[in-house]
Amino acid sequence: MEKAAVIERAKDYISKERDAGFRSQVEELLAKADSSDALKELEDRFYRDLEFGTGGLRGVIGGGYNRMNTLVVKSATQGLASYLIKTFPQKAAAQGGLKAVIAFDSRHYSAEFAEAAALIFAANGIKTWLFSSLRPTPELSFAIRQLGCDTGIVVTASHNPPQYNGYKAYWNDGSQVIPPHDTGIIDEVINVKTIKEISKQEAFNRGLLIIIDKEVDEPYQAMVKSKLFRPDLIKEKASEVRIVYTPLHGTGALHVEKVLGDLGLKVITVPEQREGDGNFPTVAFPNPEEAAALDMAIKLGVKEKADVVMATDPDADRFGIAVPGKDGNFALVTGNQMGVLLADYIFLSLKELGKLAKNAAMVNSIVTTGMQKKVAEYYGCECYECLTGFKWIADVMRKWENGEAGGKSYVFGTEESYGYNISTDVRDKDGVSAAALTAEMTLYWRSKGKSLLERLDELYALCGYWQEIGISKYFKGPEGPAIMDGIMEEYRKNPPKTLGGITITKVRDFKNGADGLPPSDVLQFFLEDGTIVSARPSGTEPKIKFYATCCALIGSGSLEAAKAEAARKLDAIKKDIRAVIGD
């Protein structure tokens, strides 16, 4: 990008940004624009607008059009408000009108961005409920349905590093927006010319801004507890289980401690990680997918002789656990394994209680382990696949409720990235509900003389040993998107004949949709042994992701031999992928 164009965009931003802190960042860089380092930083902040994608916004916090700041948040919210007014003109004109609810997590500027968005909604005549303090993403989804809102926003960057923040937009059913609304909102955001604004006091005076907390907290907690299968078992056996929990400096403690405490369970929260802190001082990545994020919790688990260690990410939609093995050391349970255990427990419980519908089914994403389908089939049920992202699981949920797509009875949704949903009252992944159900599941298998790991081994004997790997590579800067596009295009033009020495028998390309699923930039390679390798650029970060899932049958052999065979295959596949993307 030419220096003059960068400077012109920087000056335009300065003229519009009302936040003095963000404005001064750009002013200081402009003053040093003759320096190559300052000019490079300016270019990164202004070579493009931070994209309002299909999931909303996510980016590094700072001044500039390619950063998360108040001006970018206001512009995005104005576009969303304009789309709502155009989509529901009669409701917008009626008394009571359009309604929205906003939540935010512990990240830097989350509260400020949430209030800025609320005041833009209010300025557009949209009545807005704003949580008084940090709340988890699943509660935002629940609140939309509870309050009868037309949209919702949660300000969060989920599990990203501290320098990031983001903004997720939701529709009136409590799920993140999908076509045609996502592209309609994006068009409005791109074409924002004037941002309507109103003061906080005027918004209060006109009844367009309402602060909430327990009005939604209490119903949400009651809902979580109502979805458990064996409250009597918990009441009887709760004292036998010790749980160590970490919210990783995020939003989870409020609800996880309250819900599990109400059930009589002893929860020991990692004290250094209990309070919300956008610096995430004790972890490199506040993500339960990262083994290191659970280090402090596992150390406390060893000390307290915990039966299970639990973690939620900063906005408490993701959930992970570690459990003690036979050797006494804690073993991390992957997102795929956790999904298998929860699917098994849900189907088993519904069957034991005589509540398993003939058309009961679960949903998972196309990059999630195939073992979950085997578990569903074991109980005479089905597992449907969808694109990656919980909005697509919610879409299947919505279609089934409307009698479409076979009109199945939804019981569970999951994806490999530590996301689980057990209730149609929430249309997103829910780490709080997953924590409660996992506590009950732990008690149930303990009552049968088994640990979660022992139950998982039993499921391997039934379904074969399944193992998965994920490979990611970041491509930052202006050239990053082009590099990722080039990798995907090369795979499309010249797909490999083998991966890891195993012949590829089928390629499934979702660029224009496939097998009844919508278009997405995803490629899948089906290997002759049943292994599936998927490639997709991330929709929220500058990285390309690869997923591989393979199965080794146990048969007359041992579980250890099956594990060795799966590991050998995946190591060879990983080597081939690394040769393409580097590292």
Assess contact for 492 and 523: CB atoms under 8 A.
yes
Residue 267 φ then ψ, to 5°: -115, 120
- Tens digit of pLDDT for each residue in 331-357? 999 999 999 999 999 999 999 999 999
Which residues are catalytically annotated? 158
Spell out a b/e string for 264-277, using b for 16 or more CB atoms within 10 Å of the CB, else e: ebbbbbbeebbebb
Section 462-484 average pLDDT: 90
Cα four-point dihedral sign 49, 50, 53, 56: negative
Percent share of the chain, pLDDT over 90: 92
Q: What percent of the chain has pLDDT over 70?
A: 99
Tell me the pTM.
0.94
Residue 228 lies in a domain: no
The pair of three-digit structure tokens given for residue 393, joined into one six-digit string:
């699981």
Number of domains, the chain: 4
Copy the structure tokens of residue 223. Answer: 């809902």
Q: Pick from 441, 451, 381: which is nearest to 411 by CA?
A: 381
3-state DSSP assignment of residue 543: strand
Question: Where do runs of H (alpha helix) occur along 20-173?
Answer: 20-31, 36-46, 70-87, 89-93, 110-123, 137-147
Of 22-31, 204-213, 331-340, 541-550, the poorest mean pLDDT is in: 541-550
Residues 145-171 have pLDDT tens digits of 999 999 999 999 988 899 999 999 999
User: Per the domain annotation, does 225 fall within a domain?
Assistant: no
Which residue range(s) make up the domain with 351?
A: 233-463
Strands 127-131 and 209-212: parallel
DSSP 8-state secondary structure symbol assigned to residue 153: E
Pick 327 or 420 by higher pLDDT: 420
Q: What is the mean pLDDT of residues 55-66?
A: 93
In angstroms, the CA 574 to CA 583 distance is: 11
Residue pLDDT, tens place only, 371-395: 999 999 999 999 999 999 999 999 9
> Has residue 52 got a pLDDT over 90?
no
- Evaluate whether 265 touches 439 at the Cβ level (below 8 Å): yes
Q: Are residues 271 and 394 in the same domain?
A: yes
Mind listing the pLDDT tens digit for each residue in 358-374? 999 999 999 999 999 99
Dist. CA 208–CA 383, nearest whole Å:
43
- Is residue 165 domain-resident? yes
Q: Does 26 share its domain with 95?
A: no
Strand order in the sheet with 360-365: 382-386, 360-365, 409-415, 419-421
One domain for residues 443 and 525: no
Helix axes of 371-378 and 452-463: crossing angle, nearest 10 degrees: 90
CA distances from 237 to 553, 567, 570 (A): 36, 38, 41
- For the cut 90, the answer to whether the pLDDT of residue 433 exceeds it is yes
Output the average pLDDT for the chain: 95
Cβ burial of 562 (10 Å; 0-12, 13-18, 19+) is buried
Average pLDDT for 21-49: 95
Residues 436 and 503 reside in one and the same domain: no
Question: Are the C-beta atoms of residues 523 and 493 closer than 8 Å to each other?
Answer: no
Residue 55 confidence class, pLDDT cut points 50, 70, 90: confident
The count of other CB atoms within 10 Å of the CB of residue 8 is 12
pLDDT exceeds 70 at position 540: no
Q: Are residues 446 and 478 in the same domain?
A: no
Residue 140: what residue type?
L
Query: What is the per-residue pLDDT for 541?
Result: 72
Do 379 and 420 belong together in one domain? yes
Same domain, 457 and 468: no
